[in-house]
């Protein structure tokens, strides 16, 4: 660590200081796709989803895709005007004022911080299980947790371009293997006459099902699409490329979700989704064993690990840049805005995120078990992110009405953000009212406490907003 501290430079923390034109459109798309962790979302989010809607999971992803596109519109419109590493923090500041901008950054701080251990803790548990299955030796999950966190820190320290190249490689492998499985399953099921359009209709929802619950899981699977906005200061031609990356990543992942959820449904069996798939801890492993061979099973198991690692790496990179921007504006300790002297990476924020993720992940993993810690952190992270989405939608309306009046379009800057606000508020309220059993029941209270503390901090810092 001495090498890191020796090369960290004290900056005036004003103005853009990240290295410009470092990244292309491909990198911006990759970071958003990685945070959505497409394979892991399909492998794990669909399990409770099947309990709600049975074989109608593909229908839920189609509806969730449309809702997510509505919200993505606001990020696309903002990034076209304000390409910045601050993402939602900057957007809300410009649209609703610095006080609401600070609260957005405050909420985002917790969303980013919980996202890091959230991804690593289940990755570590999966690695422990796979090492036992593949090689017959058992190293505790905490070993894999610390190792994966250290590797991620090293990649982020080296630079965003290098770590995004790693993410691109992992994502290419992840999506490629999943599509190979999809081809095999669809071919075999098709030969047996098992392909059907029924999963895209509500007719297959069980009598005691809840399609709203299934749609919520679909929408939550798209969280992270906005991460490309955090690369606004480092991407070539950001006014053009960042909006393209926001929608591009959404389209890539949306199509992937629809294909793979359909594959999972017809592969497992339309009549067995609510009773079998919903109670299977690894349904895609089961599907691969039935239609593929042992080598493909190993590859599918590996895909889950790669998906979580890619997500964690992208969360650290994107989150560190948002924290850096808030710190650069003087609203967080000055060390959060420190850049590496030669690599121009926000090393202060990267280090803070990794240390926080390490401590929180280990504590919650030992206290709740990795699986329960994953569910707890995921639910908490989702609620914080949904708050940010609502604020961005509202800020979009006011920003274009007041600061870009000549460009104001009634559909893009009026109707769509209103619909986005209503959709996300409905999902947010359903999650708050029914978060689940303990410790998930604590999540709404943690959110409330964090908002109250943020209000107190805002009052203490009131002179900065005068």
The answer to whether the beta carbons of residues 459 and 428 sit under 8 Å apart is: no
CA distance 339 to 336: 9
Please return the burial class of 342, using the count of CB atoms within 10 Å of its CB with bins 0-12, 13-18 and 19+: exposed
Homologous superfamily of the 2-465 domain (CATH)? Amino acid/polyamine transporter I (1.20.1740.10)
Contact 167, 38 (CB under 8 A): no
> For the residues of 214-255, what is the DSSP string, one character each?
HHHHHHHTTTTGGGGGGGTTTBSSHHHHHHHHHHHHHHHHHH
**How many angstroms separate the CA atoms of 370 and 140, rounded?**
11
Helix/strand/coil for 290: helix
Round to whole Å and give the CA distance between 116 and 354: 7
Residue-level pLDDT, tens digit, the chain, 466 residues: 334 333 333 334 444 467 888 889 999 999 999 999 999 999 988 999 999 999 999 999 999 999 999 999 999 999 989 888 888 999 999 999 999 999 999 999 899 889 889 889 989 998 998 899 888 989 999 999 999 999 999 999 988 888 999 999 999 999 999 999 999 999 999 999 999 999 999 999 998 888 988 999 999 899 999 999 989 888 999 999 999 999 999 999 999 999 999 999 999 999 999 999 999 988 999 999 999 999 999 999 899 899 999 999 999 999 999 899 888 888 888 898 898 888 888 999 999 999 999 999 999 999 999 988 988 998 899 999 999 999 999 999 999 999 999 899 999 999 999 999 999 999 999 888 888 788 888 999 999 999 999 999 999 888 877 6
Find the helix packing angle between 57-81 and 88-96, rounded to 10°: 60
Domain positions in the chain? 2-465
Distance between CA atoms of 210 and 52, rounded to whole angstroms?
A: 5
């Amino acid at each position: 660590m001495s090498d890191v501290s020796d090369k960290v430079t004290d900056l005036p923390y004003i103005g853009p200081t990240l290295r410009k034109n470092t990244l292309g459109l491909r990198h911006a798309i990759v970071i958003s796709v990685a945070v959505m962790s497409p394979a892991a979302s399909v492998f794990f989010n669909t399990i409770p989803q099947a309990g709600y809607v049975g074989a109608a999971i593909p229908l839920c992803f189609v509806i969730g895709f449309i809702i997510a596109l509505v919200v993505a519109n606001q990020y696309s419109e903002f990034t076209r005007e304000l390409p910045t590493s601050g993402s939602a923090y900057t957007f809300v500041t410009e649209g609703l004022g610095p006080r609401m901008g600070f609260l957005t950054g405050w909420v985002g701080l917790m969303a980013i911080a919980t996202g890091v251990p959230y991804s690593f803790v289940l990755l570590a548990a999966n690695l422990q299980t796979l090492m036992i299955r593949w090689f017959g030796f058992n190293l505790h999950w905490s070993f894999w947790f610390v190792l994966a966190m250290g590797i991620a820190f090293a990649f982020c320290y080296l630079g965003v371009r290098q770590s995004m190249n790693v993410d691109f490689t992992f994502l290419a492998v992840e999506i490629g293997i999943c599509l190979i499985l999809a081809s095999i399953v669809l071919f075999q099921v098709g030969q047996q006459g098992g392909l059907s359009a029924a999963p895209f209709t509500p007719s297959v929802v069980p009598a005691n099902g809840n399609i709203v619950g299934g749609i919520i899981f679909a929408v939550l699977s798209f969280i992270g699409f906005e991460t490309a906005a955090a690369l606004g200061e480092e991407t070539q031609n950001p006014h053009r490329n960042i909006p393209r990356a926001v929608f591009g990543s959404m389209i890539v992942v949306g199509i992937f979700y629809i294909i793979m959820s359909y594959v999972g449904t017809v592969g497992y069996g339309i009549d067995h989704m609510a009773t079998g798939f919903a109670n299977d801890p690894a349904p895609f492993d089961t599907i691969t064993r039935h239609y593929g061979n042992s080598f493909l099973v190993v590859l599918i198991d590996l895909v889950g690990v790669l998906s979580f690692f890619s997500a964690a790496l992208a969360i650290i990179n994107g989150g560190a840049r948002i924290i850096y921007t808030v710190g650069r504006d003087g609203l967080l300790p000055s060390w959060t805005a420190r850049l590496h002297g030669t690599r121009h990476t926000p090393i202060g924020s990267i280090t803070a995120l990794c240390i926080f993720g390490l401590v929180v992940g280990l504590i919650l993993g030992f206290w709740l078990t990795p699986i329960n810690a994953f569910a707890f952190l995921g639910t908490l992270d989702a609620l914080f992110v949904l708050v940010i989405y609502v604020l961005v939608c509202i800020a979009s309306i006011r920003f274009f009405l007041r600061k870009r009046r000549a460009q104001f379009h009634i559909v893009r800057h009026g109707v769509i953000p209103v619909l986005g606000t209503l959709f996300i508020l409905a999902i947010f309220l359903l999650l708050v009212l029914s978060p689940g059993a303990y410790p998930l029941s604590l999540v709404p209270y943690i959110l409330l406490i964090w908002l109250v503390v943020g209000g107190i901090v805002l009052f203490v810092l009131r002179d900065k907003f005068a």
